[in-house]
């Protein structure tokens, strides 16, 4: 049973990453019908929503794109920032979805942002408590580590509606602003759905890891 759980925990994120990478690479090779860059798409969507104060910058890496609600800044990876592919449009619009959430005080985004420093703390110490608990054979330490992991699991659960809602807003804004043609819709949906699945996969993998640790802890009581 333990071996099966370990394999599932390992394979789910790997499958999700393969899926998102495959979709991204496929549609990063296909130019969007408007031949417009991710940066320009983001600027148009932001301006249409009264978000002229939100800046856009370029960062390194692949699929490292994110919105910072504190600095009101969208970071787009190089391929998205200057690229004119279907994937560039989809990812840039998704990040604008987060900016719109921020403007509208979307509850889940506010809650997730507030949890970031807490999760940074709990995730750092969860592994330490679990390792020491098993090494010293003190199950109470393992249980503390599990509780800290549950905080991270809850954070990932809150992340799901934030990401799905941002993708929904992205699709709506692309249509509303006339930035997407009918022959781009399928690719846009594929990229956004694959990206959303990575968050579902991360949540499931972490949930199974917590279940596995709980079972081990109970067996040692």
Measured distance CA(167)–CA(197) in Å, rounded:
12
Q: What is the pLDDT of residue 135?
A: 85
**pLDDT value at 50 more than 80:** yes
- Please report which helix (H) or strand (E) contains residue 109, including its range: helix 107-136
Report pLDDT digits (tens) over 99-136.
999 999 999 999 999 999 999 999 999 999 999 988 88
**pLDDT value at 220 more than 90:** no
Number of domains within the chain? 1
Checking DSSP bridges between strand 73-77 and strand 66-68, what pairing results, if any?
antiparallel
| Residues designated as active site | 95
Tell me the pTM.
Answer: 0.90
**Helix, strand, or coil (residue 60):** coil
Q: What is the pLDDT of residue 4?
A: 82
123-139 b/e (C-beta count within 10 Å ≥ 16 → b) = eeebeebbeebbeeeeb
Domain that holds residue 189: 2-219
Measured distance CA(73)–CA(56) in Å, rounded:
6
Q: What is the pLDDT of residue 150?
A: 96
């Amino acid at each position: 049973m333990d071996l099966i759980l370990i394999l599932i925990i390992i394979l789910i994120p790997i499958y999700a990453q393969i899926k998102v990478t495959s979709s991204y690479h496929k549609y990063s090779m296909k130019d969007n019908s408007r031949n417009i860059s991710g940066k320009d798409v983001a600027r148009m969507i932001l301006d249409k929503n009264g978000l002229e104060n939100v800046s856009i910058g370029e960062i390194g890496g692949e699929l490292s794109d994110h919105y910072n609600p504190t600095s009101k800044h969208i970071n787009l990876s190089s391929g998205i920032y200057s690229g004119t592919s279907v994937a560039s449009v989809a990812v840039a619009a998704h990040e604008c979805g987060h900016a719109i959430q921020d403007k509208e005080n979307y509850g889940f985004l506010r809650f997730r942002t507030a949890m970031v420093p807490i999760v940074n703390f709990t995730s750092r110490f969860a592994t330490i408590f679990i390792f020491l608990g098993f090494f010293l054979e003190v199950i109470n330490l393992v249980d503390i580590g599990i509780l800290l992991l549950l905080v991270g699991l809850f954070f990932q659960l809150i992340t799901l509606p934030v990401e799905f809602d941002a993708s929904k807003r992205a699709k709506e804004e692309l249509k509303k602003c006339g930035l997407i043609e009918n022959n781009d819709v399928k690719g846009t949906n594929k990229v956004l759905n694959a990206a959303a699945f990575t968050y579902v996969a991360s949540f499931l993998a972490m949930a199974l890891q917590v279940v596995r640790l709980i079972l081990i802890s109970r067996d040692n009581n």
